[in-house]
Amino acid sequence: MGPAALWHRLIARDDVHLWKRDDLRPVLVERMPQVVEDPDAAADGMIPAVRAYLTFLSETGRLAKGSDALDDLLDELDAVEDDFVEAMEEVLGERDWDEEEEDLDEEEVEGLGDFEPFADELGDLPTIRLRPDAELATAARAVPLIFKARDLAVWVGKARKVGEDTLLSDEEIRQALAVVGLPEPGERPLAHAVPALWNLWNLAVDLEFLTPDGEDTVSVDEDTAAWPFENDEDVLDAWMLGLHSVDYGDPELDDDDLTLALSGLTRALLIRLLIAGGERTLDDLRDELAEAAAEFDDLGASAWADAGDPLAPVLEWLSGYGMITVSGDRVGLTPLGTEGVVHLLDDDDIEVDARPAIDAMTALDLLSFSADLPEDEADTEFAAWMKLREPATAAEELLEAAAEDEADALIRVQAASLVGSLGPVAVPAWQEALNEPSLRPYAATHLAQLGVEDAPEPSQSDTHWLILDMWTISAGLGRPEFVSSLHDIGPAPVLSSLLEVIWKVPHPHVEELLEAVSDAHPDKQVAKAAKRALFKARSGAGDRE
């Protein structure tokens, strides 16, 4: 009885004791299917519960003045009972269908737009070079579909009522079509004849230009009118929110089964462009995708023929979202499109070798990627990067990047190694690095090796910092590597003596490293020394050097 009584008060009468026969159908048949948690139990027990409740109110004098007579209420209850039970059964059927769809999703049924079958080819691709955010943001600011979605959202305005059968009335649809520059079709019903408008509506929702602000209303987000945004990061964040709109490019046919047979066509085109190096002829794409559609679904060939030109909506949407260009018979990925496909692959946990373009690669990019590359590949990246800048400038950029995060020992070691390979030309950069606590040990060491006059001698604290960096890196490689790096220091007495003083170094990882030594070192004396040092580090941080 609880849900029925609650919604009677919310949508019918403020007084829970005031009941009219006209209240029963809206509450039970129209509202309950939308809100009931257990439709099976509701179908069995809600009508009897309402009947008993109304009878109780009447017999105890609690049925408020102005209510209909009990007999009239019970007659109406009998009249709506079959419709109520049928509505609950429909809810049960819909939920069963949703569960079946979820099961299908979990089984990852292959389709035209699945990337997994191409994983091996993608893994074998040469390095994909990505353009810098500033360039991508500039391209995103010019995307026509985002402007249309913005204009539609601004037209929607604040608290616009939306209907159940169609979001907008016919007159509102005509206004919206004019706002986004789409022609009014001659077909009726109008709501079924404007899929392009609904795609733009969905894009506006994806972009968070439109947001629900009530059960039956939507509103434009307050920042929408400011598109294109000034901040590059905000622009790219918005573009990425709408990236999955690529699926709106799939052909929409009159027959749902035929439409389903071509679902994923847009993604299928994108992945083939990427594998081909970014460009294909339209004829080749048509032939290959037609064959793929026929293999994917028994209705694929029929759907392809029925669509006329299945690639037309695909090309139109992708061009409108800034992801491809079409020139004559050739289709090519734009830099924005390449970025988008790489992100879609990442969403599916499919790895590709994607890196910033050499001319757009920052020193931090270079250091980050080099850390995960084989030595020969890292050397190749460094050599290409160095060709675009003077050695002294390169040294400055690398050390500045290494100083950004004091906790990143691997980046610091990478930078020191690369700058060290530049020789005397890097002296000014090393001298500047003496002012950075995390880089001073490296700077002092390299300046001493280069024989620079007046350079400070590396201190014991500098040496200890270098050791802690080495331990940090080896700890990230696993327990065997970490233990091996501890043995590199020397026998147990030497390591124990080091632990008695190294805890004083203000290294960001000193405490976790001391704890790791106490857990990993096989010698009990060393483990005890590490625990004592850890206690001192935690209780006497203010006494550190």
Amino acid of residue 6: L
Residue 161's H or E segment, with its range, is strand 160-161
Average pLDDT, the chain: 90
Contact 270, 344 (CB under 8 A): yes
Task: Give the whole-angstrom CA distance, residue 165 versus residue 460.
Answer: 77
Question: What pLDDT score does 97 carry?
Answer: 64
Task: Give the whole-angstrom CA distance, residue 411 versus residue 477.
Answer: 15
Can you name the residues that pair with 220 across neighbouring β-strands?
210
Residue 309 has pLDDT above 70, yes or no: yes
Question: What pLDDT score does 80 carry?
Answer: 82
What digits encode the pLDDT tens for the residues 318-337? 999 999 999 999 999 999 99
Residue 196 has pLDDT above 50, yes or no: yes
Amino acid of residue 438: S
Side-chain half-sphere CA neighbours of 516 within 13 A = 22
In the block, which residue shows the tokens 């201190």? 459
The CA-atom distances, in angstroms, between 507 and each of 241, 364, 474 are 40, 21, 16
Mean pLDDT of 11-19: 79
Contact 405, 416 (CB under 8 A): no
Question: What pLDDT score does 348 carry?
Answer: 93
In the block, which residue shows the tokens 């079924």? 192
Residue 115 has pLDDT above 70, yes or no: yes
Question: What pLDDT score does 102 carry?
Answer: 53
Question: What pLDDT score does 545 carry?
Answer: 46
Question: What pLDDT score does 106 carry?
Answer: 42
> How many residues does this entry show for the chain?
545
Task: Give the whole-angstrom CA distance, residue 38 versus residue 88.
Answer: 9
Q: Is 49 exposed, middle or buried (0-12, 13-18, 19+ CB in 10 A)?
A: middle
Beta sheet of 217-220, edge-to-edge order:
160-161, 217-220, 210-212
**Of 246, 226, 231, the residue nearest 150 (C-alpha):** 226
**Of 507, 505, 529, the residue nearest 518 (C-alpha):** 529
Question: What pLDDT score does 252 carry?
Answer: 94
**Of 144, 37, 42, the residue nearest 87 (C-alpha):** 42
Mean pLDDT of 180-188: 92
Question: What pLDDT score does 109 carry?
Answer: 42
Range of lowest pLDDT (13-27, 308-322, 423-437)? 13-27
Q: 485: pLDDT confidence band, cut at 50, 70 and 90?
A: very high
Residue 6 has pLDDT above 80, yes or no: no
**Given CA atoms 12, 15, 18, 24 in this order, what sign does their dihedral have?**
positive
Question: What pLDDT score does 275 carry?
Answer: 97
Question: What pLDDT score does 98 carry?
Answer: 61
Can you name the residues that pair with 279 across neighbouring β-strands?
332
Per DSSP, the residues of 281-321 read: EHHHHHHHHHHHHHHH-TTHHHHHHHTSSTHHHHHHHHHHT
Can you name the residues that pair with 128 across neighbouring β-strands?
354
Q: What whole-number percentage of the chain has pLDDT above 70?
A: 96
Residue 195 has pLDDT above 70, yes or no: yes
Contact 520, 486 (CB under 8 A): yes
Packing angle between helix 391-402 and helix 409-420, nearest 10 degrees? 160
Q: Is 100 exposed, middle or buried (0-12, 13-18, 19+ CB in 10 A)?
A: exposed
Residue 543 has pLDDT above 70, yes or no: no
In the block, which residue shows the tokens 């203010």? 542
User: In 283-303, which positions are buried (b, 16+ CB within 10 angstroms) versus exposed (e)?
Assistant: eebbeebbebbbebbebbebb
Task: Give the whole-angstrom CA distance, residue 278 versus residue 128.
Answer: 10
Decide which of 373 and 174 is more confident.
Answer: 174
Mean pLDDT of 124-140: 95
